[in-house]
Amino acid sequence: MPTQNSPPPILPVELSGSISFRSGQQNWGSQRRMALLHAIGQEGSISAAAKKIGLSYKAAWDAVDTMNNLAGEPLVLRSTGGHRGGGATLTERARELIQLYHALNQEHERFMAQLAKASTQSAQNLELIQHMMIQTSARNKLLGIVDHIKPGAVNDEVTLTIGDGIQVIATITSESVQNLGLHPGKRALAFIKASSVIVGAPGGDLKLSARNQLPGRISRIVPGAVNAEVCIELESGQVIAAMVSLESLDSMGLKEEQAAYAIFKASSVMLGVLD
């Protein structure tokens, strides 16, 4: 039976996508716009077509104007009169575009179905790819499971288990906890800037107020012109990078393979979710 801290089951991966027509840098033949053309042909009215596919009246007119302009000839012919502009009909070019789009879309759907079959045994790997595609300015990205949440008057304290009993504590607003839908057992990503991480050496009686003091070993040191990147491999295998000055690197005598702590405040941890 899964425990509170065990990862939630991996759900089947569903692949989806759509095709669109482009003219230069302008994406004008999108799925929504082609649906608008199709609906105009069925309804004989821009306003009725807009309502059918969930567009505002103005957005529908703007889309029609854009498609007409980019096509270099009318795709929709409008007749004045009546409530909100009268009726509308499609030109032969528009009907040809719709026919082509439907044919291409059928091929696209068959292609996506084949991809879905290929992915049935790869849900965990696809999820990892999803995590790896996230682009942020934070040097450190850690995947974990929410262990517990301690509510506060304004900020909540969220404890994230990142593996082998190692936990990261983040302090974020109660509103953010609600917006992210955080709860025990939910997957979450922790982001920590390298500049927010302090490298600590074991031993001594120095006490720090930082909530996160994770033990590990220095796996790599990359010197720069002014600062050096010090990478600390945790006991769970994750690596946390820190930026330290060359002066600090020398005065502390930091070397690869020696024991060290990655130290950072709970307020320096940003959390994110993918669902």
- Stronger pLDDT, 154 or 114, i.e. the higher one: 154
Task: State residue 266's pLDDT score.
Answer: 94
Q: What is the mean pLDDT of residues 260-269?
A: 94
Q: How confident is the model at residue 197 (pLDDT cuts 50, 70, 90)?
A: very high
Please tell me the total number of residues recorded for the chain in this structure: 275
Q: How confident is the model at residue 18 (pLDDT cuts 50, 70, 90)?
A: low
SS3 annotation, 163-225: ECCEEEEEEEEHHHHHHHCCCCCCEEEEEECHHHCEEECCCCCCCCCCCEEEEEEEEEEEECC
Task: State residue 167's pLDDT score.
Answer: 93
Q: What is the mean pLDDT of residues 170-195?
A: 91
Q: How confident is the model at residue 217 (pLDDT cuts 50, 70, 90)?
A: very high
Instruction: Give CATH 2.40.50.100 domain extents, the chain.
Output: 140-272
Average pLDDT of the chain is: 81
DSSP type of residue 85: G
Task: State residue 1's pLDDT score.
Answer: 44
Spatial distance between the Cα atoms of 169 and 211, rounded to a whole number of angstroms: 7
Q: How confident is the model at residue 64 (pLDDT cuts 50, 70, 90)?
A: confident
| SS3 state at 243 | strand
Task: State residue 245's pLDDT score.
Answer: 94
Is 3.40.50.300 the CATH number for 140-272?
no
Instruction: Give CATH 1.10.10.10 domain extents, the chain.
Output: 21-118
pTM for the whole structure:
0.55
Task: State residue 29's pLDDT score.
Answer: 59
Task: State residue 182's pLDDT score.
Answer: 93
Task: State residue 133's pLDDT score.
Answer: 45
CATH tag for 21-118 (out of 1.10.10.10, 1.10.357.10, 3.40.1020.10, 2.60.40.10): 1.10.10.10
**Per-residue pLDDT tens for 82-103?**
554 568 899 999 999 888 888 8
Does residue 48 contact residue 38 with C-beta atoms inside 8 Å?
no
Task: State residue 165's pLDDT score.
Answer: 83
Task: State residue 81's pLDDT score.
Answer: 57
Please say if the pLDDT value at position 155 is more than 90.
Answer: yes
**Per-residue pLDDT tens for 110-140?**
766 765 665 555 555 555 454 444 455 567 8
Task: State residue 230's pLDDT score.
Answer: 94
**Per-residue pLDDT tens for 223-246?**
999 999 999 999 888 889 999 999
**Per-residue pLDDT tens for 243-252?**
999 999 999 9
